[in-house]
Amino acid sequence: MVGMSLVDIDLIIGGPQGGGIDSAAQVVIRSFSIAGYETYGIREYHSNIKGRHSYFHVRIKDEQVRSLRYPVDLLVCLDYETPFVHIDDVAKGTIVLYDEDLKGTKIEQVLTMEPETKKHITERLKRDNLETTLSGAIEYMKRKGAVPFPVSFRDLVVKALGPNKPPSRYANTLGASMAMALVGLPPEFTMSGIASVFGKKKEVLEDNEKIVNGGYEFVKTKNGMGTKQLKVLETKERYIITGNEAVAIGKVVGGLKLQTYYPITPAADESFFLEGHDYFEEGNVSSISEENEVLKKTGVVIVQAEDEISAIAMAISGAMTGARTATGTSGPGFSLMAEAIGYAGINEIPVVITLYQRGGPSTGLPTRNSQADLLFAIYAGHGEFVKIVYSSGDVDEAIQDAVKVFNYAEKFQVPVIHILDKNLANSFYVIDQLDYSKMKIERWLKTAEEGDADRFKLTSDGVSPMAFFGKNIIWLTGDEHNETGHITEDPETRDEMLEKRMKKVNLILKTIPEDEQVQVFGDDNPQVTLLSWGSNKGVILDALDQLRKEGIRGNLVYVKLMNPFPSGLVSKYLSGSKLIINLENNYTGQLALLVRQNCGIKIENSILKYNGRHPTQDEVYRSIKKIINNEEKTVVMTSGA
Amino acid sequence: MAHNFRTDLWVDWCPGCGDFGILAALQQSLAELGKKPEDYVVLSGIGCSAKTPHYINAAGMHTLHGRVIPFATGVKLANPNLTVIVDGGDGDLLSIGAGHFVAAGRRNTDMTIIIHNNGVYGLTKGQASPTLPRGTKTKGLQRPNILDSLNPVALALSVGYTFVARAFSFDVKQTKEIIMKGIKHRGTAVIDLLQPCPTYNEINTKEYYEERVYYMDKDASWDPAVREATSEEAENKYLQAIKRSLEWDDKIPLGIFYQNELVPSFGERINGYIPSYFEDVPSKSPICDAEGNPLVRMEKIFSDRLIKK
């Protein structure tokens, strides 16, 4: 039940890139999951391998968790940069765990910190007449009501493991285990979490177990700290995955046979994960029927191409050969793919492109979140052709949609862009066993007989019988073509062919079930309607729950089929609304532009965020309130380090 | 009647174009190899040579400028049983598509690449292509070419192609023989096909080549094939090929420069980690039952993501 949560903890663990933040995140999520809690966590990191500040923000609840929140309840600083950078992420009661051996560090000594960040933090400390040292930062947070929790990482590591082990290597598990001790997770769950992450390496596991014991012991010695004990909840077998991995799992179950890619953040993790899971033997594959025992082993071919142009080209021709084929990329790589997407358009090729948005333009913010590529995805490629752009907003959607986008591609014989973002790609989710009934595979509406075939046969719905290399004698060309696929510039044939392709717009909107196009969540007769897409879904629903507690009824009109645009449905769902607010992670409000273009509805209010960080529940809530109270029409959200 | 691999389209190249010889040699090769027309896929990029697939009665894919190699690679990856042939111009394969040309050498996918080499961009009216020497002024140019030419044979050798040959399109019979050897080669075969452009290149004409070309295998001691896996033999064959590739001005060698079937093809490399690859080819592999239920289950495959107590 909503709002009955007894446990609701926001935790940040910060440290240098390469300092084991990811392992700490895994330990925290696995430990709480084993104890039956729900978690949701996002990684924030620089485009850098070693040294720059990275952090992991996780929220832990005893009920469904869909978003993060500031201020946090616990800030764990594994290095001297974290207390400076997260100086404003705390409030009354926040426990700030930091390394007391570093307290004299001056901000100018923090070489990994960007000068702009240094300047902003220095200004804040000076404004409060505080030293620009780590002690000053701790004092700044103390004045906001935070509770400092000084620890000597070196002493604790030496105590646990002796003098020969480098403290920096264990700071991550030490910090994580003290955090879990402070919120009262019984140590056996932390031990299970540790075993689940480091279980394969015996020595590493033993060292880390000693570290956990040391951490819990130390917290106990502090007066009044670590005395509470969290309840253990019922649990079942679950998986921890990222959004990238969710898409990969959906693709594999959905019949992916060939995936091409060129390394790019934040898309490459999906293909990298697939490379480690690309061959399946009996037990992982069920044979089709008793008569067909062929499929006892199978695989997915993952190819690292020489660039994104090659990746999309390989994927397109793989799809024309009859294999379920996809490629994955992000903004800069997607830009390179634009010409080939047009080729897939004119040749009606069922290829899937998974697009993980990141901050642009150009290299932009390579490791940060954005929703600024929506219009580009819709319009990528010159000339006019039909493509589907389909959006997922959480991990369950990502898994199921990874199957759906293949179905759409093959049924309608169009390229499909599955659009997601860094926020979803790099978040950690805990999922149950898959519900295979929601992952039905649907293939072509019609296929050609073997041998000679007219690849582009004119039909009433625009869809020709699908023909393949290896089965049919067919021709494809990027030129305008006749039914056989040979080049033609005949004006009447041009009209027929272009109109044939464009007919699919109606077919797509008529065929895809309404609730796969647009969804509505929340109250009837809403006082406020949020319009959004993608990974904002969870945070908006949490903010609406918060408003509901104050008696404000709200709903969310959540668009999934971004192109062709479901104008009728969106108009219908927005028509009764008294106050509509568009919320997106971009500057121009691209979904609102689409609504205006397609539905003729001008949305007057918007909540936007474009600093590359994820929107949090508190700021979404505050921003909606500002608009309801007529204080502002456009609110720009700015939280996040 | 045997399939002759001709379509009934009017071939729209200029009279005297070297592409006619390549088309004839290719059609004869496909007929002689004896596979069904649907077992071949002929792909091309953009330009005059890119019309080739439309004139061949087998599956054809006329792709994008410079990108024909990746398109061809995708076909072969999805169905390694198909015979894949690439027709590209020198501008297509060695300028806009040069990156793909280099990457293809490293992959050694089992396919054949025919470079229609005429020194110019014909279809855009005769600009200089990467094989036109510096200082040359062909009739489509405003001034002599200021870029150095590249050597397709030496480039192919240096990036790992395992079959490197040259042919002359006005010798259809020998061209056909070399194309067939290329198709039979296990790995990527690249053929530098000298193909005079009668409209825009009045320097590298049919007569220019006829005065200079010779077949390397006329000398009975010429042996381009690496037969032992010893590094010494491979190195010697490689060095003799590089040396021969430098001949041009007075004597232009034709035939096979280098062949090494001891290097595993891309498909064989994939089969190394997906041992079912050649039997359960991606394009034919079943993915669902009659009700659309997926055949692959995640639980065991992704067990490393399971949270264990």
Asked if the structure places residue A2 within a domain, the reply is no
Q: Which residue would you say has higher pLDDT here, A223 or A346? A: A346
- Could you give the percent of chain A with pLDDT greater than 90? 93
Residues A257 and A168 in one domain: no
Check pLDDT > 50 for residue A291.
no
Distance from CA of A64 to the nearest CA of B (A): 18
A36 within a domain of the structure (yes/no):
yes
* Distance, CA of B82 to CA of B60 (rounded, Å): 12
CATH number at residue B176: 3.40.50.970
Nearest CA in chain B to A471: B38
pLDDT band per the 50, 70, 90 thresholds, residue A4:
low
How much is the pTM? 0.97
What is the Cα–Cα distance from A88 to A640, expressed in whole angstroms?
9
A431 and A304 share one domain: yes
pLDDT given for residue A294 in this prediction: 58
A356 and A420 housed in the same domain: yes
Q: What is the pLDDT of residues A22-44, one digit of tens each?
A: 999 999 999 999 999 999 999 99
CA distance B299 to B255: 55
Do residue A179 and residue A255 come from a single domain?
no
C-beta atoms of A318 and B273 within 8 A: no
Q: Give the tens place of pLDDT for each residue, B263-277.
A: 999 999 999 999 999
Chain A, chain B: beta-carbon pairs less than 8 Å apart = 254
A505 at B interface, C-beta within 8 A: no
Looking at chain B, the whole-number percentage of residues with pLDDT higher than 70 is: 99
CA atoms of B248 and A531, how far apart (whole Å): 68
Distance CA A403, CA A352 (A): 10
Tell whether A523 is covered by a domain. Answer: yes
Q: Can you give the residue range of the structural domain that contains A483?
A: 451-510
Using the beta-carbon criterion (under 8 Å), do B296 and A280 form an inter-chain contact?
A: yes
Residue A433 falls within a domain, yes or no? yes
Same domain, A206 and A278: no
pLDDT at A334: 98
What does the pLDDT look like over A227-238, one tens digit per residue? 778 999 988 889
> Could you say which of A168, A187, A221 is where a domain stops?
A221
Cβ under 8 Å to B: A residues 275-334: 277-280, 283-289, 292, 294-295, 297-301, 303, 305-307, 309-311, 313-325
A-proximal residues of B, 50-89, CB under 8 Å: 51, 53-54, 57-64, 67, 69-75, 77-79, 81-82
Q: Are residues A501 and A535 in the same domain?
A: no
**Residues A372-404: pLDDT tens digits?**
999 999 999 999 999 999 999 999 999 999 999
Give SS3 for A259.
strand
Q: Residue B95 gets which letter from DSSP?
A: I
Decide if A504 is inside a domain.
Answer: yes
Please answer whether residues B195 and B207 qualify as being in contact, where contact means their C-beta atoms are separated by less than 8 angstroms.
Answer: no
A450-508 pLDDT per residue, tens: 999 999 999 999 999 999 999 999 999 999 999 999 999 999 999 999 999 999 999 99
Residue A221 has pLDDT above 60, yes or no: yes
pLDDT of amino acid B52: 98
pLDDT confidence bin for A222, thresholds 50/70/90 = confident
Asked if residue A429 and residue A379 are part of one domain, the reply reads yes
A478 shares contact with chain B (CB less than 8 Å): yes
A336 touches chain B (CB under 8 A): no
pLDDT tens, position by position, A80-97:
999 999 999 999 999 999
Same domain, A20 and A162: yes
- Write out pLDDT tens, residues B187-234: 999 999 999 999 999 999 999 999 999 999 999 999 999 998 888 999
Angle of helix A167-183 relative to helix A153-161, nearest 10 degrees, comes to 100
Run of H or E including B77: helix B68-78
pLDDT bucket at A1, cuts 50 / 70 / 90:
very low
List CB contacts of A343: < 8 A, sequence separation 6 or more.
A316, A349, A478, B63, B64
**Based on the structure, what is the number of domains in chain A?**
4
Residue B276 CA: distances (Å) to CA of A277, A301, A614, B281:
14, 11, 43, 8
Q: How far is A386 from chain B (nearest CA, A)?
A: 19
In a domain, B91, yes or no: yes
pLDDT, averaged across chain A: 95
* Within-domain flag for B227: yes
Kindly determine whether residue A323 and residue B73, on different chains, have CB atoms separated by under 8 Å.
no
Phi, psi of A356 (to 5 degrees): -95, 110
Same domain, A503 and A593: no
* Cα angle value B16/B22/B23 (rounded, 5°): 95
CATH number at residue A206: 3.40.920.10
Confidence at A226, pLDDT banded by 50, 70, 90:
low
A472-473 and A427-431 strand pairing: unpaired
CATH number of the domain at A519, please: 3.40.50.920
Please write the tens of the pLDDT for every residue from A128-149. Answer: 999 999 999 999 999 999 999 9
Residue A579 resides in a domain: yes
Task: Please give the distance of CA A370 from its chain centroid, rounded to a whole number.
Answer: 10
Q: Give the domain-ending residue among A167, A189, A221.
A: A221
Q: Do A284 and B301 touch (CB under 8 A)?
A: yes
Arithmetic mean of pLDDT, A195-223: 92
Q: What is the pLDDT of residue B2?
A: 62
Residue A609 has pLDDT above 50, yes or no: yes
- Contacts with A309 from chain B: Cβ below 8 Å: 67, 70, 100
Residue pLDDT, tens place only, B236-266: 999 999 999 999 999 999 999 999 999 999 9
Query: What chain A residue is nearest to B79 in terms of C-alpha separation?
Result: A321
Contact B294 A436 (CB under 8 A): yes
Q: Is the confidence metric ipTM above 0.95 for this complex?
A: yes
Q: Which residues contact A181 (CB under 8 A, 6 or more apart)?
A: A187, A190, A215, A216, A219, A220, A226
Please report which helix (H) or strand (E) contains residue B111, including its range: strand B111-117
pLDDT tens track for B47-99: 999 999 999 999 999 999 999 999 999 999 999 999 999 999 999 999 999 99
Does residue B5 lie within any of the structural domains?
no
Q: Say whether A364 sits in a helix, a strand or coil.
A: coil
Query: Are A159 and A301 in a shared domain?
Result: no
| DSSP 8-state secondary structure symbol assigned to residue A108 | G
Residues of B with Cβ-Cβ distance to A299 under 8 angstroms: 274, 276-277, 280
The pair of three-digit structure tokens given for residue A110, joined into one six-digit string: 């923090």
pLDDT above 90: percentage of residues in chain B: 92
Q: Is B40 near chain A, with CB under 8 Å?
A: no
Mean pLDDT of B28-37: 96
Query: Could you tell me if A32 and A66 lie in one domain?
Result: yes
**What average pLDDT score do residues B167-171 get?**
98
Q: How far apart are CA B303 and CA B297, in angstroms?
A: 11
A540 and A594 part of one domain: yes
- Residue A249: both structure tokens together: 């799992």
Question: Cα–Cα distance between A550 and A3 in angstroms, integer?
Answer: 12
**Could you list the residue range(s) of the whole structural domain that residue B74 is in?**
19-271
Q: What sign has the CA pseudo-torsion A58, A62, A65, A67?
A: negative
CATH number of the domain within which A368 lies: 3.40.50.970
Predicted confidence (pLDDT) at residue A293 exceeds the cutoff of 80: no
Q: For residue range B115-128, what is the model confidence (pLDDT) as tens digits?
A: 999 999 999 999 99
